[in-house]
């Protein structure tokens, strides 16, 4: 039976091979290509990631150590695939990382940390090209970084706007520094092609305002059905609540211990001339405790033993644990782990219930709508718009409604980010068309 199925599959396979139709794209969403490209990115430690964040020119690229470079190029076999995916992404007419149409507080946002890492990775690859004299290739990489940032910044929520703009800024700074290094026609043409026919303004703030508004409306509708959600908004103080000790997963606790040890070591070497410490970890930890770089000797909850290894050619120690937990693999923030829903006291639940049924709540929702209407009228790219946004920001900040204060974004700082970004790109376009 198994054989029959296999041969049937083979027939089907060859039948499809026989068809000469080109593959049809199921979608035209650049985000898919970006996410695939990110899958081919090498593993990058937080130490190297910090260094990549700084790179904007050749000098900062040259600060990378041998180890940093090794990580940067550890998946160089896939770089061609990554570049190809970036080209495919550039050909797409759409880009959205928002795949959940419900648009409420459960909506899945783009994996910001990975997207940022990816942008920094491509940016660093561009500077590596520049170091090798491949300026045209460098220009192409920076264009891809810019386009990624542009795509993200036009995608829904205001936070995507600011986030995408930070990526654009990195690309534009790199491009300006590349032009200072080399402005031959070929390089300029690649950049000019990338920066002509851009929409103006680059980022339409109304898209973000509409998303924010929809997000709040939907979230409130859901919260009315699940009133505990209002408890999460910290609108109601609970005097009766006792603080319970937080239970931390053992792996997280071990990762946290390792970070503490790293910090203590760094402090130690700031004060002491570098000299290799004892090789057994107990003595090292004892030294750190005795000299008050550590309050107490950390204990691995997985019964592991902390190990210190002197990194070859480098004047620092690597900390690890025999239990195998790697802090780079353990998110430091809680944004990826869902904590158990805290219980709210009956007292708080009663307050929430009263609030939802009150006239005040109806009024608060009306106020939110009015503020959004006002926001949509503002042109973020003018001085008058800045002033109007400032007035709205005050209205939100000093609002008598805690709900308004909690939920509404500050339009003035967001619009300022948009305006400065537009100026930066306009300046670059002027430079390229000169």
Q: Please state the closest distance from residue 405 (CB atom) to Zn ion, in A.
A: 42
Which CB sits closer to Zn ion, 219 or 320?
A: 320
Q: Is 122 in the site for Zn ion (CB under 5 A)?
A: no
Tokens of residue 170, six digits:
């990195």
Supply angle C-alpha 52, 47, 138, rounded to 5: 15
Q: Which is nearer to Zn ion, 231 or 304 (CB)?
A: 304
Nearer to Zn ion, 34 or 308 (CB): 308
Long-range contacts of 98-107 (CB under 8 A, 24+ apart): 98/155, 98/156, 98/157, 102/218, 103/211, 103/214, 103/215, 103/218, 104/215, 104/218, 104/219, 104/221, 104/222, 105/215, 105/219, 105/222, 105/229, 107/215
Cβ proximity to Zn ion, 180 vs 299, nearer residue: 299
Helix 185-195 crosses helix 411-433 at what angle (to 10 degrees)?
140
Closer CB to Zn ion, residue 202 or residue 300?
Answer: 300
Number of chain residues interacting with Zn ion (CB under 5 A): 7
Provide the b/e sequence for 61-95 (b: ≥16 CB within 10 Å).
beebeebbeebbeebeeebeebbebbebbbebeeb
Report the residue number, 37 or 253, with the smaller CB distance to Zn ion.
253
Nearer to Zn ion, 217 or 323 (CB): 323
Does 300 bind Zn ion (CB under 5 A)? Our answer is: yes
Of 108 and 249, which CB lies nearer to Zn ion in the complex structure? 249
**254, 264, 265, 277: which one binds Zn ion (CB under 5 A):** 254
Write down the least CB distance from residue 206 to Zn ion, Å.
Answer: 50
- Which of 176, 302, 399, 422 touches Zn ion by CB under 5 A? 302
Selected from 323, 349, 356, 402, the binder of Zn ion by CB under 5 A is 323
Which range in 52-60, 127-135, 323-331, 368-376 contacts Zn ion by CB under 5 A?
323-331
Q: Judged by CB, which is closer to Zn ion: 131, or 280?
A: 280
Interface with Zn ion by CB under 5 A: which range of 56-64, 295-303, 357-365, 367-375?
A: 295-303
Of 156, 161, 231, 304, the one binding Zn ion (CB under 5 A) is 304
Does 321 interact with Zn ion (rule: CB under 5 A)? yes
**Smallest separation, CB 259 to Zn ion (Å):** 12
Binding span for Zn ion by CB under 5 A among 114-122, 236-244, 313-321, 415-423: 313-321
User: Quick check: 256 binds Zn ion (CB under 5 A)?
Assistant: no
Q: Which residues pair with 319 in a beta bridge?
A: 308
Task: Tell me which stretch binds Zn ion (CB under 5 A): 220-228, 288-296, 298-306, 339-347.
Answer: 298-306
Least distance from Zn ion to the Cβ atom of residue 304, Å: 3
170 to 123, 162, 186: CA distances (angstroms): 8, 13, 22
262 makes contact with Zn ion (CB under 5 A): no
Site residues, Zn ion (CB under 5 A): 254, 300, 302, 304, 321, 323, 325
């Amino acid at each position: 039976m198994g054989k029959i199925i296999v041969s049937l599959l083979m027939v089907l396979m060859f039948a499809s091979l026989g068809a000469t139709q080109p593959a049809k794209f199921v979608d035209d969403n650049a985000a898919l290509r970006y996410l695939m490209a990110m899958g081919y990115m090498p593993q990058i430690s937080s130490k190297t990631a910090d260094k990549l964040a700084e790179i904007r020119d050749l000098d900062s690229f040259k600060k990378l150590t041998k180890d940093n470079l090794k990580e940067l190029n550890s998946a160089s076999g896939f770089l061609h695939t990554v570049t190809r995916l970036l080209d495919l992404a550039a050909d797409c007419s759409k880009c959205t990382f928002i795949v959940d149409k419900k648009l409420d507080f459960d909506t899945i946002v783009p994996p910001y940390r990975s997207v940022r890492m990816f942008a920094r990775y491509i940016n660093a690859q561009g500077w590596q090209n520049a170091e090798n004299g491949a300026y045209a290739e460098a220009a192409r990489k920076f264009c891809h970084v810019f386009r990624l940032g542009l795509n993200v910044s036009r995608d829904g929520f205001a936070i995507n706007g600011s986030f995408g703009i930070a990526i654009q800024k990195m690309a534009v700074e790199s491009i300006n520094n590349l032009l200072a290094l080399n402005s031959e026609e070929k390089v300029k043409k690649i950049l000019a092609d990338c920066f002509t026919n851009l929409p103006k303004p680059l980022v339409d703030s109304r898209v973000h305002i509409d998303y924010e508004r929809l997000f709040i409306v939907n979230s409130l509708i859901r919260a009315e059905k699940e009133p505990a959600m209002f408890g999460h908004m910290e609108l109601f103080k609970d005097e009766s609540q006792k603080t319970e000790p937080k239970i931390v997963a053992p792996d997280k606790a071990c990762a946290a211990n390792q970070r503490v040890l790293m910090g203590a070591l760094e402090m130690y070497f700031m004060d002491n001339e570098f000299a290799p410490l004892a090789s057994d970890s107990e003595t090292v930890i004892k030294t750190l405790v005795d000299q008050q770089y550590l309050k107490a000797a950390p204990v691995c909850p997985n019964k592991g033993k902390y190990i210190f290894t002197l990194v070859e050619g480098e004047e620092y120690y690597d900390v690890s644990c025999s239990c195998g937990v790697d802090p780079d693999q353990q998110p430091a923030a809680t944004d990826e782990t869902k904590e158990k829903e805290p219980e709210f006291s009956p007292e708080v639940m009663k307050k929430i219930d009263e609030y939802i049924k009150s006239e005040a709540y109806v009024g608060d929702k009306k106020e939110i709508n009015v503020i959004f209407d006002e926001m949509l009228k503002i042109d973020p790219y003018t001085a008058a718009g800045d002033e109007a946004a400032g007035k709205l920001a005050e209205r939100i900040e000093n609002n008598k409604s805690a709900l308004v204060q909690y939920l509404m974004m500050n339009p003035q700082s967001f619009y300022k980010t948009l305006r400065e970004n537009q100026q930066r790109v306009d300046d670059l376009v002027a430079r390229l068309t000169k």
